Amino acid sequence: MSRDLLPGVTGVLALADGTILQGIGVGAAGEAVGEVCFNTAMTGYQEILTDPSYMAQIVAFTFPHVGNVGTNVEDVEQMSGAAETAARGAIFRDAPTDPANWRADSDLSAWMSRRGVIGLAGIDTRALTRRIRESGMPHGVIAHSPDGTFDLEALVAKARAWSGLEGLDLAKDASCLQPFVYDEGLWAWGQGYAKPGDAPKYEVVVLDFGVKRNILRALTAVGARATVVPGRTTAEEVLARKPDGVLLSNGPGDPAATGEYAVPQIKKLVESGVPLFGICLGHQMLSLALGAATRKMDQGHHGANHPVKDLTTGKVEIVSMNHGFTVDRDSLPEPVVETHVSLFDGTNAGIALKDRPVFSVQHHPEASPGPTDSLYLFERFAGLMDAAR
């Protein structure tokens, strides 16, 4: 296809098949390579762009008008604060608008620039979304050059040369380096983020593969003291803390790659009998530990409007999802029970063990961003810890 750029173009997306999408650069100048996915959420773009599960991905927002909420220092989801451990780029239909929200302390473009996140606006995101739905998530390079100078052939070559997410252990970079205790609760109107009580009801160890702050807030909201430890922590070290429960966090990358060191430890935790709760990547690696298989998805699930059925209650929930790998439901062995299923495509969305206090879900029950239909899962986890005492 033609390599001619339109007048005024300062941003491009170069795909591995040679396609060049042209627009206006937003945020940081430079270039970044990653897997291009789309997110259907209408709100929560700051939380999305700081979610470690988006590491090595470029997020195209299907909602056309982004930016009016602005950004603030409170709504960052990643713990590390490093831009490399979250989304590499963002694509918008319209240029981000000026903030008009009382909590904003910065506009989106300036915030992205400070974080080193490259953006591209003026793109037909509907056409890009349809392309991903039909052909899968492509490898691409997003680039922003204020003077409009691009080496398009080099950008395409870089996209083609990128190895992709399969086989990548990204959790090792998203995880914390030292244990720490998290001490914030859920946000409430007029109050901000709550402070937990002085006497926690539960001691929970969180194996950090790229944990989101709101997962930790949801834990403290049910009375837990959340001690976060690196993802490479051994089962023996976890159990030495005498936890009432263990949470396997969300995170980026290929679960089979991270599972090379995490799965043997998860097996030991299952055998110990301690209540165990897995979320997203934690769900996938728990499934691997129990004998199931995972596979790469063509387009993944990214959004805050996904219908999931809880097979244990018959209830349908609208949930937030962000994953490009899935558990092969046909590979689930005994005594594993499928507890949740996606009503979009029938893929697995949750499991539990028949004979142990162990369960996990593919979606993000902390709801950041998204609806709070699944917050009860943290209460379910608390119930397992009560029963185990």
Give me the active site residues, please: 280, 364, 366
Give alpha helix (H) positions in the chain. 45-49, 108-115, 125-135, 152-161, 171-174, 213-221, 235-240, 255-272, 281-289, 376-388
Gap between the Cα atoms of 327 and 333, Å rounded: 12
Quote the tokens at residue 59. Answer: 């997020």
SS3 68: coil
SS3 286: helix
Q: Are strands 348-353 and 336-342 parallel, antiparallel or unpaired?
A: antiparallel
Write the DSSP string, 303-358.
EEEEEEEETTT--EEEEEEEEEEEE-GGGPPTTEEEEEEETTT--EEEEEESSSSE
Quote the tokens at residue 42. Answer: 């209408």
Quickly tell me which residue has 């909590």 as its tokens. 103
Largest CA distance in the chain: 68
- Residue 147 per-residue DSSP state: T
